[in-house]
């Protein structure tokens, strides 16, 4: 299995956590999104038509989009299942995962920040305020969901699920960008839990072959 990944991409980070939790071996193929390698050929035509990272190649299957990849892994390699099968438990895990993956992450990813400072010529202060604004909006929702429905050491229970797989990279990014996260104690308790877990540690940006400061 090959994972096309960028060390600092939080969607790549999600898939790395999922692979590590499932104990699946893979080769990392770095794609430097800072210099646009994800938009170059033959990557777009042959590996990932979405022109993003990550992408997974597993035998004949070549797949983009982190959540589609993780769903595929969960179906094909069901050990350490990340999305529960019980209908309501599943709904809660997906609700939190989608809040992070649709409402927080996309508006703060690299291409958006580049557009703010490039074509829109905004200042670094305006870009940082933008980032913090969407983190605060989204994390308030995450915390409400966790307080209302969460339980156990992880988001939903005593084993990690897709919700944790999405939450940890999002918090790591928010910390890197200097966001104040003190208003989300339940989310931060899950983050602290992940900092003791070998799969989450192995998937972290600073453990990747393409890591740079």
Where on the chain is the footprint of a second copy (CB under 8 A)?
44-45, 49-52, 61, 63-69, 71-72, 75-76, 87-88, 90-91, 94-95, 97-99, 101-103, 105-107, 111-112, 115, 119-120, 122, 126, 129-130, 133, 137, 140-141, 144-145, 148
Nearer to a second copy, 35 or 213 (CB): 35
The nearest distance, CB 67 to a second copy, in angstroms, is 5
The nearest distance, CB 128 to a second copy, in angstroms, is 13
The nearest distance, CB 194 to a second copy, in angstroms, is 22
Nearer to a second copy, 20 or 53 (CB): 53
Burial class, 69, CB count within 10 angstroms (exposed 0-12 / middle 13-18 / buried 19+)? buried
The nearest distance, CB 167 to a second copy, in angstroms, is 14
* Long-range contacts of residues 23-28, Cβ cutoff 8 Å, at least 24 apart: 23/79, 23/80, 24/73, 24/77, 25/1, 26/1, 26/2, 27/1, 27/2, 27/3, 28/2, 28/3, 28/208, 28/209, 28/210
Nearer to a second copy, 27 or 45 (CB): 45
Nearer to a second copy, 41 or 196 (CB): 41
The nearest distance, CB 203 to a second copy, in angstroms, is 19
Burial class, 34, CB count within 10 angstroms (exposed 0-12 / middle 13-18 / buried 19+)? exposed
Which of the 8 DSSP states describes residue 182? T
Rg of the chain (C-alpha set): 17
Distance CA 206, CA 194 (A): 15
Nearer to a second copy, 91 or 192 (CB): 91
């Amino acid at each position: 299995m090959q994972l096309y990944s960028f060390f600092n991409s939080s969607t790549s980070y999600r898939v790395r956590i999922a692979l590590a939790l499932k104990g699946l071996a893979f080769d990392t193929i770095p794609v430097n999104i800072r210099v646009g390698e994800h938009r170059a050929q033959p990557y777009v035509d042959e590996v990932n038509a979405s022109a993003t990272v990550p992408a997974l190649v597993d035998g004949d299957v070549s797949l983009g989009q982190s959540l589609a990849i993780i769903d595929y892994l969960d179906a094909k390699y069901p050990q350490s299942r990340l999305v529960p099968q019980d209908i309501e438990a599943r709904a809660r895990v997906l609700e939190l995962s989608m809040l992070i993956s649709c409402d927080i992450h996309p508006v703060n990813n690299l291409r958006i920040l580049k557009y703010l400072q490039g074509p829109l010529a905004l200042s670094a202060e305006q870009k940082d305020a933008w980032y913090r604004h969407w983190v605060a909006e989204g994390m308030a929702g995450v915390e409400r969901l966790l307080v209302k429905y969460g339980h156990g050491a992880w988001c939903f229970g005593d084993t990690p699920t897709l919700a944790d797989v999405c939450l940890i990279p999002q918090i790591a990014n928010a910390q890197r960008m200097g966001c104040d996260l003190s208003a989300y104690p339940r989310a931060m308790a899950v983050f602290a839990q992940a900092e003791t877990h070998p799969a989450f540690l192995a998937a972290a940006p600073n453990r990747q072959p393409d890591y740079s400061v």
